[in-house]
Amino acid sequence: MGATDYYVWREFEDHIRGERIRWAGKPGLEIWSRVDPGVALIAQVMEISSEDHVLDLNCGVGWLGVLAARRTSGRIFLASDHGLAVEATRRTMAMNGLEGCACILHGDGYPLLEPGTFDVVFLNIPKGKETAQRLVRLAAWALKPGGRLYLAGPKRGGIESLIRYVRDLFGRAPVWAYGSGYRVAVADRPAHLDIEPPGDDFVEREAVVRDCVWRFVTRPGLFSWSALDEGTRHLIEQMEIGPEDHVLDLGCGYGIVGVIAGHEARKGRVVMVDISAAALEASRRTLALYSMPHVEIRLSDVIDGVRRERFDVVVTNPPIHQGFGVEREVAIQFVYDALSVLRPGGRLYLVGAVVLPYRTIIEQVFGNVEILFDDHHYRVYRAVHKPRRLR
């Protein structure tokens, strides 16, 4: 697959619970070219009446949204933290003639949802124990008394411990089906359950970098949310940013790199981008701790939101995981796209684990690479955009 193929949306078709479904997918999503096994299990056992209100808290590319919309005239809310999943779901609903049949949300829906208003909640669990538990609490809060939660996920992703968590909360959560290493459990919300609003779980932290104390706002589920990771620390310590530079923080997470870049480029400009709703909100809250009107935050699928702009510096700690798996394709795309948005003479600063082949990839793309830091765990690389002469 070439670098430009990453942005191409594909169309697929299969049968789920005997029903023909078409859907949209592309690289950057965890499971997109085949039906998610957790979705297939939920579809196998789900029961939806003609007037049920339905909420899917991790909608993938919209498979369950299609099945729900074919069964009920009630309200349907489809939510995902991943911006690509939101776009895929929009496309999937339209491809099945269901455009406008659901409210599609970037994020988990809180506080847009009303408590005690849903008859059915689907949760095909995301990666991360704290994130999954939060979504279970949100499901319990959103369900009507007697409403039903369908909970699915892989054994290697912690579904068994999460089922125990649901049992502690709901009283019962029997496993109704299993296959392909996945389980689906079903729990009815007890009438007597008294649950507090889930809140937003954002917390403020501090990190000492470059002999300064920096505050940032983070949340469980974000990469290295509890403390600044060593890779990002080394990236910050090695990056060189001039006062008038235009900087792109590619995959900004909770925003500490972008804020420090904004401090350095005080007469320039900084754009921070990410695809995660939680990361974007954390970055907004981090930025609000400082007075930096020259720094902005945008939703972007890699560089899609800044494609027509040019920068002097790109700084990045690329993601290497998509859901429960390791996925290097997005990280490689970061390298290709960094070159395309850098001005001639512009610099890429990238950090990654030493086991990842960034040196080879960067040299292939840029024609040069320099290792600024190597402690046998992480490496910080620098490359310069040097336009190649035509012969």
pLDDT at 300: 98
pLDDT at 329: 84
205-230 confidence digits (pLDDT tens): 999 999 999 999 999 999 999 999 99
Q: How far apart are CA 118 and CA 143, in angstroms?
A: 5
In this structure, which amino acid lies at residue 26? K
In the chain, DSSP assigns E strands to: 10-16, 19-25, 54-56, 76-80, 103-106, 118-124, 143-154, 175-179, 182-188, 203-209, 212-218, 246-250, 269-274, 295-299, 311-316, 321-322, 325-326, 342-353, 370-374, 378-384
Mean pLDDT of 247-271: 98
Mean pLDDT of 130-150: 96
Mean pLDDT of the chain: 94
Domains of the chain, each with CATH number or no CATH: 3-188 (3.40.50.150), 203-384 (3.40.50.150)
Higher pLDDT, 292 or 320: 292
pLDDT at 390: 54
Mean pLDDT of 265-289: 97
Q: Which helix (H) or strand (E) holds 227?
A: none
**50 by DSSP, 3-state: which?**
coil
Q: How many CB atoms lie within 10 A of CB 163?
A: 22
Q: How confident is the model at residue 1 (pLDDT cuts 50, 70, 90)?
A: very low
- Model confidence at 165: pLDDT above 90: yes
pLDDT above 70 coverage of the chain, percent: 96
Nearest Cα neighbor of 109 from 84, 137, 130, 129 is 137
In this structure, which amino acid lies at residue 381? Y
Residue with token string 């970055």? 283
pLDDT at 111: 86
pLDDT at 4: 67
Residue with token string 């690479």? 369
pLDDT at 273: 98
pLDDT at 388: 75
Tokens of 285: 């809250």
Mean pLDDT of 242-250: 98
pTM as predicted: 0.94
318-361 confidence digits (pLDDT tens): 987 454 444 578 899 999 999 999 999 999 999 999 998 999 99
- Model confidence at 240: pLDDT above 90: yes
Report the range of poorest mean pLDDT among 31-45, 103-117, 320-334.
320-334
Mean pLDDT of 56-84: 98
- Model confidence at 55: pLDDT above 70: yes
Mean pLDDT of 122-132: 94
pLDDT at 65: 98
Mean pLDDT of 156-178: 96
Question: Is residue 375 within 8 Å of 341, Cβ to Cβ?
Answer: no
pLDDT at 3: 62
- Model confidence at 234: pLDDT above 80: yes
Q: How far apart are CA 211 and CA 201, in angstroms?
A: 29
Q: Compute, in degrees rounded to 10, the torsion defined by CA atoms 6, 7, 13, 16.
A: 80
pLDDT above 90 coverage of the chain, percent: 90
Q: How confident is the model at residue 387 (pLDDT cuts 50, 70, 90)?
A: confident
pLDDT at 326: 46
